[in-house]
Amino acid sequence: MNILVSAHSGLRYIVLLLLVVAIVNAVSNLKSGQYLKKDKMINLFAMIFLHIQLLLGLILYFTSPKVQFVEGMMANASLRFFDVEHPLLMILGILLITLGRKKAEKQEDPSIKHKLILRYYLLGLIIIFIGIPWPFTHPTLGTGWF
Ligand code: HEM
Protein backbone atom coordinates (compact mmCIF):
# COMPACT_ATOMS: atom_id res chain seq x y z
CA MET A 1 0.00 0.00 0.00
CA ASN A 2 2.67 2.50 1.08
CA ILE A 3 4.98 1.34 -1.65
CA LEU A 4 2.20 1.84 -4.19
CA VAL A 5 1.64 5.42 -3.02
CA SER A 6 5.39 6.08 -3.19
CA ALA A 7 5.61 4.61 -6.69
CA HIS A 8 2.56 6.59 -7.84
CA SER A 9 3.95 9.74 -6.27
CA GLY A 10 7.48 9.41 -7.72
CA LEU A 11 6.28 8.35 -11.15
CA ARG A 12 4.70 11.79 -11.56
CA TYR A 13 8.14 13.26 -12.34
CA ILE A 14 8.97 10.60 -14.91
CA VAL A 15 5.59 11.07 -16.57
CA LEU A 16 5.94 14.87 -16.64
CA LEU A 17 9.51 14.66 -17.96
CA LEU A 18 8.56 12.19 -20.72
CA LEU A 19 5.66 14.42 -21.79
CA VAL A 20 7.93 17.49 -21.92
CA VAL A 21 10.49 15.52 -23.99
CA ALA A 22 7.76 14.41 -26.44
CA ILE A 23 6.43 17.98 -26.75
CA VAL A 24 9.88 19.53 -27.28
CA ASN A 25 10.65 16.79 -29.81
CA ALA A 26 7.39 17.55 -31.69
CA VAL A 27 8.11 21.31 -31.74
CA SER A 28 11.67 20.89 -32.93
CA ASN A 29 10.63 18.52 -35.74
CA LEU A 30 7.54 20.39 -36.96
CA LYS A 31 9.34 21.57 -40.08
CA SER A 32 11.74 18.65 -40.50
CA GLY A 33 9.46 16.91 -42.98
CA GLN A 34 10.22 13.60 -41.26
CA TYR A 35 8.60 11.41 -38.66
CA LEU A 36 11.27 8.89 -37.71
CA LYS A 37 11.25 5.73 -35.62
CA LYS A 38 12.78 7.67 -32.71
CA ASP A 39 9.83 10.13 -32.81
CA LYS A 40 7.41 7.22 -32.67
CA MET A 41 9.35 5.69 -29.75
CA ILE A 42 9.49 8.95 -27.76
CA ASN A 43 5.73 9.42 -28.09
CA LEU A 44 5.00 5.77 -27.34
CA PHE A 45 7.26 5.73 -24.29
CA ALA A 46 5.51 8.73 -22.73
CA MET A 47 2.15 7.04 -23.27
CA ILE A 48 3.27 3.71 -21.80
CA PHE A 49 4.44 5.40 -18.59
CA LEU A 50 1.18 7.33 -18.41
CA HIS A 51 -0.74 4.08 -18.63
CA ILE A 52 1.39 2.53 -15.88
CA GLN A 53 0.52 5.57 -13.76
CA LEU A 54 -3.16 5.11 -14.64
CA LEU A 55 -3.00 1.49 -13.53
CA LEU A 56 -1.37 2.40 -10.18
CA GLY A 57 -3.97 5.16 -9.73
CA LEU A 58 -6.82 2.73 -10.37
CA ILE A 59 -5.44 0.25 -7.81
CA LEU A 60 -5.08 3.09 -5.27
CA TYR A 61 -8.60 4.25 -6.02
CA PHE A 62 -9.96 0.95 -4.71
CA THR A 63 -7.55 0.54 -1.81
CA SER A 64 -6.63 3.99 -0.49
CA PRO A 65 -8.17 5.26 2.77
CA LYS A 66 -8.22 8.68 1.09
CA VAL A 67 -11.00 7.49 -1.20
CA GLN A 68 -14.25 7.13 0.71
CA PHE A 69 -17.79 7.39 -0.45
CA VAL A 70 -19.64 8.76 2.53
CA GLU A 71 -22.36 11.30 3.11
CA GLY A 72 -21.16 14.88 2.66
CA MET A 73 -18.01 13.81 0.82
CA MET A 74 -18.40 16.62 -1.71
CA ALA A 75 -18.28 19.15 1.11
CA ASN A 76 -14.98 17.68 2.31
CA ALA A 77 -12.12 19.11 0.22
CA SER A 78 -9.83 16.11 0.69
CA LEU A 79 -12.45 13.45 -0.07
CA ARG A 80 -13.77 15.45 -3.04
CA PHE A 81 -10.24 15.75 -4.43
CA PHE A 82 -9.33 12.06 -4.28
CA ASP A 83 -12.86 10.72 -4.95
CA VAL A 84 -13.63 12.93 -7.93
CA GLU A 85 -11.31 15.77 -8.98
CA HIS A 86 -7.95 13.96 -9.19
CA PRO A 87 -9.18 10.84 -11.04
CA LEU A 88 -11.39 12.82 -13.45
CA LEU A 89 -8.66 15.27 -14.47
CA MET A 90 -6.05 12.53 -14.80
CA ILE A 91 -8.26 10.22 -16.86
CA LEU A 92 -9.19 13.17 -19.11
CA GLY A 93 -5.52 14.06 -19.61
CA ILE A 94 -4.51 10.46 -20.32
CA LEU A 95 -7.46 10.03 -22.72
CA LEU A 96 -6.47 13.13 -24.71
CA ILE A 97 -2.85 11.98 -25.02
CA THR A 98 -3.86 8.44 -26.03
CA LEU A 99 -6.30 9.81 -28.61
CA GLY A 100 -3.82 12.35 -29.96
CA ARG A 101 -1.17 9.69 -30.46
CA LYS A 102 -3.67 7.45 -32.28
CA LYS A 103 -4.66 10.31 -34.57
CA ALA A 104 -1.02 11.19 -35.22
CA GLU A 105 -0.11 7.60 -36.08
CA LYS A 106 -2.94 7.46 -38.65
CA GLN A 107 -1.71 10.54 -40.52
CA GLU A 108 0.68 10.32 -43.48
CA ASP A 109 2.07 13.88 -43.39
CA PRO A 110 4.99 14.08 -40.91
CA SER A 111 4.33 17.72 -40.00
CA ILE A 112 0.66 16.98 -39.23
CA LYS A 113 1.82 14.07 -37.04
CA HIS A 114 4.12 16.35 -35.05
CA LYS A 115 1.42 19.05 -34.86
CA LEU A 116 -1.14 16.59 -33.46
CA ILE A 117 1.35 15.29 -30.87
CA LEU A 118 2.18 18.86 -29.88
CA ARG A 119 -1.48 19.87 -29.42
CA TYR A 120 -2.77 16.80 -27.61
CA TYR A 121 0.29 16.13 -25.46
CA LEU A 122 0.49 19.79 -24.41
CA LEU A 123 -3.20 19.95 -23.50
CA GLY A 124 -2.89 16.63 -21.64
CA LEU A 125 0.23 17.82 -19.80
CA ILE A 126 -1.51 21.02 -18.64
CA ILE A 127 -4.55 19.07 -17.37
CA ILE A 128 -2.34 16.48 -15.61
CA PHE A 129 -0.18 19.20 -14.04
CA ILE A 130 -3.29 20.91 -12.66
CA GLY A 131 -4.62 17.58 -11.33
CA ILE A 132 -1.51 16.76 -9.27
CA PRO A 133 -1.86 17.40 -5.51
CA TRP A 134 1.21 19.65 -5.31
CA PRO A 135 2.09 20.87 -1.81
CA PHE A 136 1.77 24.45 -3.11
CA THR A 137 -1.64 24.03 -4.78
CA HIS A 138 -3.22 21.72 -2.19
CA PRO A 139 -1.43 22.50 1.10
CA THR A 140 -4.24 21.04 3.22
CA LEU A 141 -4.07 17.54 1.67
CA GLY A 142 -0.81 16.65 3.39
CA THR A 143 0.82 15.37 0.19
CA GLY A 144 4.55 15.87 -0.32
CA TRP A 145 7.02 16.31 -3.15
CA PHE A 146 7.82 12.59 -3.32
C1 HEM B 1 -0.76 11.04 -14.83
C2 HEM B 1 -1.61 10.61 -13.94
C3 HEM B 1 -1.46 10.75 -12.46
C4 HEM B 1 -0.53 11.43 -11.72
C5 HEM B 1 0.67 12.25 -12.21
C6 HEM B 1 -0.90 11.23 -10.32
C7 HEM B 1 -0.21 11.77 -9.24
C8 HEM B 1 -0.54 11.59 -7.91
C9 HEM B 1 0.18 12.13 -6.79
C10 HEM B 1 1.42 13.01 -6.90
C11 HEM B 1 -0.43 11.71 -5.65
C12 HEM B 1 -0.02 12.04 -4.19
C13 HEM B 1 0.79 10.92 -3.60
C14 HEM B 1 1.32 11.30 -2.25
O15 HEM B 1 0.60 11.19 -1.25
O16 HEM B 1 2.47 11.74 -2.18
C17 HEM B 1 -1.57 10.89 -6.04
C18 HEM B 1 -2.42 10.27 -5.18
C19 HEM B 1 -3.48 9.49 -5.55
N20 HEM B 1 -3.88 9.21 -6.84
FE21 HEM B 1 -2.95 9.84 -8.55
N22 HEM B 1 -2.03 10.45 -10.25
C23 HEM B 1 -2.41 10.15 -11.54
C24 HEM B 1 -3.50 9.40 -11.92
C25 HEM B 1 -4.42 8.85 -11.06
C26 HEM B 1 -5.60 8.15 -11.44
C27 HEM B 1 -6.05 7.94 -12.90
C28 HEM B 1 -6.23 7.74 -10.30
C29 HEM B 1 -7.51 6.99 -10.10
C30 HEM B 1 -8.27 6.48 -11.00
C31 HEM B 1 -5.43 8.20 -9.18
C32 HEM B 1 -5.72 7.96 -7.85
C33 HEM B 1 -4.99 8.43 -6.78
C34 HEM B 1 -5.33 8.17 -5.40
C35 HEM B 1 -6.49 7.32 -4.89
C36 HEM B 1 -4.36 8.82 -4.61
C37 HEM B 1 -4.27 8.83 -3.07
C38 HEM B 1 -3.36 7.71 -2.61
C39 HEM B 1 -3.07 7.73 -1.12
O40 HEM B 1 -2.34 8.61 -0.66
O41 HEM B 1 -3.59 6.84 -0.42
N42 HEM B 1 -4.34 8.86 -9.68
N43 HEM B 1 -1.60 10.83 -7.43
pLDDT of 8: 98
Positions in the chain whose pLDDT score sits under 70: 1
The residues, any chain, with a CB within 8 Å of residue 131's CB and separated by 6 or more, are: 85, 86, 89, 90, 93
pLDDT of 1: 62
The residues, any chain, with a CB within 8 Å of residue 58's CB and separated by 6 or more, are: none
Domain of 124?
2-141
| Any domain includes 15 | yes
| Any domain includes 146 | no
Q: Is 82 in the pocket of ligand 1 (CB under 6 A)?
A: yes
Counting ligand 1 atoms within 8 A of each CB, the residue from 52, 86, 140 with the most, and so the one to mutate, is 86
Terminal-to-terminal C-alpha distance of the chain: 15
The reported pTM is 0.96
Count structural domains, the chain.
1
Counting beta carbons within 10 angstroms of the beta carbon of residue 106, is it exposed (0 to 12), middle (13 to 18) or buried (19 or more)?
exposed
Q: Is 50 in the pocket of ligand 1 (CB under 6 A)?
A: yes
Q: Is 61 in the pocket of ligand 1 (CB under 6 A)?
A: yes
| Any domain includes 118 | yes
